[in-house]
Structure 1
């Protein structure tokens, strides 16, 4: 069990988790957007790498299945909070994504209460996270009046729109999975 916890993919996920408070501090404290951007890109690369290594080295574990989405959610949450505080994104964009997280959290609690594990991450959920993780660096680049900001703006808004739609949709899919699982368990108990 201990060996499973300290495999390379899990260590990369733990490294990503440790980067969340540093990322938040860079955005909200000294407002070092360049360093925050570098950390966000590093996080996205290690997110991709930990999944590849887990499959390649046959080091997939239950801990890794918990750490990876936790790191994703924390980065997304931290980024949304920091961007909202700094005025990079409006509140009406943040609220549906936060509500989605709360609803998925309730679904996980309901599933556990009924004896189920959390649902597997869906392709739509992975795609949503992937698109949002591309949107966030571009949103950081939109700050200011430079030529880079002008070029980044439409790209950032496109990735943000698609990422938000996919993220909310993936949350709806988790709700549907939860309802079907609980109904199925109730039918089985009734028989």
Structure 2
């Protein structure tokens, strides 16, 4: 897979080491996903912002750790490939909703970011006609996710009048602006890749074999 995310008809499918469900990397991914409702409750319930940010930090660490262990122990799995990007999206969405409900960020920003994921979801039926279920991750998608995962914890910590809060707010919004731009840029590349696949590959009547998640 090229780092630019370009894809041709000869693109190979992903390699998996195992179809097992109960591996340590998968358990870490499941635990990370289970932390999403806890995060939303912390933000909307007791407004325990510092603890909510700690949850996000732990989630980010386990995101790195499960990928590292999966590669190191040859435990890459189909489930793991699915859970990682899903967990990232749910953490971003939960943080967005929490911040919007508390009027820390505007709802139009939530709509812009959610709309991008809706557009990507609408590409799936088209991709499946060419034997794909989703698109290759490339560096723009990863960079966008990185920016957004850092942006909103900082914006959350910036909900105050102290010097630290002001600095966190400025830095958080900088990450948010860059992350939103990159998120849609990556989305446009996925649209172009889908168009290329439709033009270059014949229609297939089988279950998708190429299962890669676009971030």
| TM norm structure 1 | 0.91
Residues 140 and 121 (structure 1), Cα distance of their counterparts in 2 relative to 1, 3 Å cut: same
**Residues 41 and 137 in structure 1, CA contact (< 8 A), matched pair in contact too:** no
Aligned: 1:60 with 2:85: no
Q: By how many angstroms is 1:37 displaced?
A: 0.9
Q: By how many angstroms is 1:188 displaced?
A: 9.3
Moved over 3 A (4+): 186-189
Hey, what's the Cα distance between the residues in 2 that align with 1:188 and 1:62? Answer: 21
DSSP 3-state at the match of 2:201: helix
| TM norm structure 2 | 0.81
In the other structure, the counterpart of 2:137 is 121
In the other structure, the counterpart of 1:106 is 122
In the other structure, the counterpart of 1:173 is 189
**Residues 130 and 203 in structure 2, CA contact (< 8 A), matched pair in contact too:** no
Hey, what's the Cα distance between the residues in 1 that align with 2:18 and 2:166? Answer: 49
**Residues 19 and 77 in structure 2, CA contact (< 8 A), matched pair in contact too:** no
- Higher relative contact order (Cα pairs below 8 Å, separated by 6+ residues): 2
Structure 1 segment 10-21 matched on structure 2, within 5 A: 10-21=26-37
Equivalent pairs counted in the alignment come to 189
- Structure 1 range deviating more: 176-185 or 16-25: 176-185
Q: By how many angstroms is 1:115 displaced?
A: 2.7
In the other structure, the counterpart of 2:104 is 88
Provide structure 1 residue ranges, at least 5 long, that are not aligned to the other structure. Answer: none
User: RMSD across aligned C-alpha pairs, in angstroms?
Assistant: 2.1
Aligned: 1:155 with 2:171: yes
Q: By how many angstroms is 1:125 displaced?
A: 0.9
**Residues 139 and 156 in structure 1, CA contact (< 8 A), matched pair in contact too:** yes
**Structure with the higher fraction of residues in helix conformation:** 1
Hey, what's the Cα distance between the residues in 2 that align with 1:8 and 1:127? Answer: 26
Q: By how many angstroms is 1:113 displaced?
A: 4.2
Provide structure 2 residue ranges, at least 5 long, that are not aligned to the other structure. Answer: 1-16, 206-215
Aligned: 1:144 with 2:166: no
In the other structure, the counterpart of 1:5 is 21
